[in-house]
Amino acid sequence: MFFWSLVLIAVGIFSSFIYGRSRIKLNSKKQGTKSKSLPNYYAQYVLMWCLFPALIVYFSWAIFQEQIIQNIVISNFEFIEGAVYNEGLLLAEIRNVANNPSFADGKSIEIINAASHYSSLKQISQISFYTSIIIMMLLGALYASQKLKPEFHAQHTIEKYIQYILIFCSSVAIFTTLGIVFSLIFESLRFFAEVSISEFLFSTEWYPFIPIREGQTAAEGSFGAVPIFAGTFLVMVVAMCVAAPLGLLTAIYLAEYASQRVRKTVKPLLEILAGIPTIVYGFFAFVSVAPFVKAFGQSIGIDASPTSALAAGMVMGVMIIPFISSLSDDVINSVPQSLREASLGIGANKAETIKKVILPAALPGIVGAFLLAISRAIGETMIVVVAAGTAPNLTGNPFENVTTVTVQIVVALIGDQEFDNPRTLSAFALGLVLFVITLFLNIIALQIVKRYRERYE
Partner 1 sequence: MSNSKILANGVDVYYGSKQALFGISMDIKEKEVTALIGPSGCGKSTFLRCINRMNDLIEICKVSGSIKVDNEEIISEKTDVVSLRSKIGMVFQKPNPFPKSIFDNVAYGPTIHGLVDSKNELEEIVHSSLKKAGLFDEVKDRLNEPGTSLSGGQQQRLCIARAIAVNPEIILMDEPCSALDPIATAIIEELIDELRLNYTIIIVTHSMQQAARVSQKTCFFHLGELIETGETNKIFTNPDNTKTQDYITGRFG
Looking at the Cβ atoms of 194 and 352, the one nearer to partner 1 is 352
Smallest distance from partner 1 to CB 348, Å: 5
Q: Return residues touching partner 1 (CB under 8 A).
A: 259-260, 336, 338-349, 352, 356-357, 360-361, 455
Contact 136, 59 (CB under 8 A): no
> Quick one: which of 348, 370, 365, 366 has its CA closest to 357?
348
How far apart, in whole angstroms, are the C-alpha atoms of residue 317 and residue 193? 38
Beta strands at 206-207 and 222-223: parallel, antiparallel or unpaired = antiparallel
Smallest distance from partner 1 to CB 369, Å: 18
> Quick one: which of 43, 35, 54 has its CA closest to 19?
43
Looking at the Cβ atoms of 66 and 330, the one nearer to partner 1 is 330
Looking at the Cβ atoms of 44 and 343, the one nearer to partner 1 is 343
Smallest distance from partner 1 to CB 346, Å: 4
How far apart, in whole angstroms, are the C-alpha atoms of residue 398 and residue 296? 12
Query: What is the torsional sign of CA 363, 368, 370, 371?
Result: positive
Smallest distance from partner 1 to CB 370, Å: 20
Which pairs with CB-CB distance under 8 Å and at least 24 residues apart come from 202-209?
Answer: 202/226, 204/394, 206/392, 206/408, 207/392, 208/408, 208/411, 208/412, 208/422, 208/423, 208/426, 209/423
Beta-bridged to residue 206, according to DSSP, are 223
> Quick one: which of 189, 207, 222 has its CA closest to 432?
189
Smallest distance from partner 1 to CB 340, Å: 7
Looking at the Cβ atoms of 170 and 338, the one nearer to partner 1 is 338
Smallest distance from partner 1 to CB 331, Å: 13
How far apart, in whole angstroms, are the C-alpha atoms of residue 77 and residue 79? 6
Q: What one-character DSSP code corresponds to residue 215?
A: T
Smallest distance from partner 1 to CB 337, Å: 8
Looking at the Cβ atoms of 190 and 263, the one nearer to partner 1 is 263
The DSSP line for 270-302 is HHHHHHS-HHHHHHHIIIIIHHHHHHHHHHTT-
Looking at the Cβ atoms of 247 and 365, the one nearer to partner 1 is 365
Smallest distance from partner 1 to CB 415, Å: 56
| Alpha-carbon distances, residue 321 vs 16, 242, 298, 334, 432 (angstroms) | 55, 8, 28, 20, 27
Looking at the Cβ atoms of 21 and 340, the one nearer to partner 1 is 340
Smallest distance from partner 1 to CB 352, Å: 5
How open is the CA angle 53-59-64, to the nearest 5 degrees? Answer: 125
Looking at the Cβ atoms of 110 and 256, the one nearer to partner 1 is 256
Looking at the Cβ atoms of 217 and 259, the one nearer to partner 1 is 259
